[in-house]
Amino acid sequence: MRAPLATVAFCTLLSLASGIAARAATRYVPGDYPTIQAAVTAAVSGDVVRVAPGVYTGPGNVSVNLGTKNLEIRSEAGAAVTTIDGAITGGPCSVAPAVIGFIMTGGQTRDCIIDGFTIKRCASWADAGAIQLVGSSPIIRNCVFTGDHACANGGAISAASGSSPLIELCDFSANSAGSPSGGDGDFTIYGGGAIYTADDCPSEILACTFENNYAPQGGAVRAGAGTTVVNCVFTGNSAAGIGDAGGGAVVTSTADIEGCTFKDNAAPGGGAVCCYGDNTITASLFVGNTLQELSYPYSTHGAAVQAVGTAVLTHCTFWGNRYPGQAGRGDDVVAGGVDLDRCIVCYNDETGQSPRHSYTCCDLFDTDAAARASTSASPDFTFIAEDPLLCDPEDGDFRLQPDSPCLARCGRMGAFDQGCGVTATESHTWSAVKARFR
């Protein structure tokens, strides 16, 4: 008797699934294989490589090439105790061949995962100090990148040729990209001290931290077209700034930034962010960023944000951003083609003229921006100039008190909602605010 067709189909599917499960394996380093590359070489797509705590360095543990395989490469106990060390010290731009952490150029997808490693002291004379992606789109998660360098783009991670990685819950510190070729300001234009994504590489960067990274453009991130940067914190990053470019933390092509904090970053163009193309920045905090002077004849603009293209900033808070340079060599906490909607702008240096701004329902308190906005005949300039009554900005709490005027108008102004009770406030002077960031 013939088996019913449905039964045959079910058994066939079950057999296929069993075959796939049978082929998947977990390979342990160093238990089963002496090096990470040995485990990767033995593995097939779908396998898991588990790496025990320890420091992995030297041939077989650096420049690990996944070929065309989709693998899950995970540490057993996390980045704090599992390190890939390129051991490059001094003169990284003379390194040949590159000493990278992982190489993925074989069309990897989100089925490929790198999870839970510290990758440090890796370097490349081209792109990608720690992870090189070409036409590949893995997930990179729970990793720490520190002291990595690329002499071109992407001190830690470089994504090129249609790559679209998801980078989440990672920490980037003291990474760098680019190398001066001599002379004052004579740089080849490279970017992304921590991460570089090319314009054909729409990537996701989620819940990551960036501290003390450096590049000629985009001290932490050079974000290509379609990249999203969400819930990240950028602190103390810097860019040299070339021409109109800069972006102490981020330089973008066309990107969306949401829910991020930018603190104490510095560059000659866009102390925190420099935007090309059409960009949106939403619900983000800019505090203590600095517009630097250039020693060669370029103008400098935007202590927090410079838009060489256009940028729409919605529900953002700007506090204590500064311009310590010469009068006439810079302008504003934001500069260029910037539209501000329901933003709080207070206690910032404001020195120049930015006729391309528009303010819609913003609080411009204790700033020259209010005086200049009041002289504009444009109906787009709508604002108040009242103390926003932030909870405790001196201690980093930029939420709103319940009686803040920024809650009563336009739904809400600024990056944060109500977050404290009524607080006794003291009057502040701009000189006192600036003193906190010197």
Residue 312 CA to residue 281 CA, distance in Å, equals: 6
> Residue 438: which pLDDT band, with cuts at 50, 70 and 90?
very low
- Mean pLDDT, rounded, for 124-131: 93
Residue 226 resides in a domain: yes
Structure tokens at 93: 């731009």
More confident residue, 380 or 37: 37
The tokens 């787009």 sit on which residue? Answer: 380
Burial label for 44, CB within 10 Å (0-12, 13-18, 19+), is exposed
Whole-model pTM: value is: 0.88
Least confident of 260-269, 303-312, 393-402: 303-312
Task: Please report the sign of the dihedral spanned by the C-alpha atoms of residue 36, residue 40, residue 42, residue 44.
Answer: positive
| Beta-sheet pairing, 195-197 with 221-223 | parallel
Residue 35 CA to residue 28 CA, distance in Å, equals: 9
Q: What is the pLDDT of residues 225-259, one digit of tens each?
A: 999 999 999 999 999 876 556 899 999 989 999 99
pLDDT tops 80 at residue 353? no
pLDDT tops 60 at residue 218? yes
Helix (H, G, I), strand (E, B) or coil at 191: strand
Residue 5 resides in a domain: no
At 251, phi and psi to the nearest 5?
-115, 130
Q: What is the pLDDT of residues 82-95, one digit of tens each?
A: 999 999 876 667 65
- Which of 41-55, 182-196, 270-284 has maximum average pLDDT? 41-55
Beta bridge partners of 279: 311
Residue 31 resides in a domain: no
Residue 145 CA to residue 125 CA, distance in Å, equals: 18
86: Cα separation from own chain's centroid: 23
Q: What is the pLDDT of residues 162-205, one digit of tens each?
A: 999 999 999 999 999 987 543 334 445 789 999 999 999 999 99
> Looking at residue 359, what is its pLDDT?
87
318: Cα separation from own chain's centroid: 19
Least confident of 5-9, 115-119, 314-318: 5-9
Burial label for 9, CB within 10 Å (0-12, 13-18, 19+), is exposed
Residue 215 resides in a domain: yes
- Would you say 309 and 275 are in contact if contact means Cβ atoms under 8 Å apart? yes
Residue 73 resides in a domain: yes
Write the DSSP string, 130-164: SEEEES---EEES-EEES-EESSS-SSEEEETT--
DSSP at 322: B
C-alpha closest to that of 362 among 376, 373, 349: 373
Residue type, 73: I
Residue 83 CA to residue 331 CA, distance in Å, equals: 44
Residue 284 resides in a domain: yes
Residue 14 resides in a domain: no
Burial label for 427, CB within 10 Å (0-12, 13-18, 19+), is exposed
- Mean pLDDT, rounded, for 338-361: 78
pLDDT tops 70 at residue 374? no
Number of domains in the chain: 1
Which domain, by its residues, includes 283? 46-435
Structure tokens at 98: 């590159």
> Looking at residue 433, what is its pLDDT?
42
> Looking at residue 376, what is its pLDDT?
46
Residue 135 CA to residue 118 CA, distance in Å, equals: 24
Residue type, 102: F
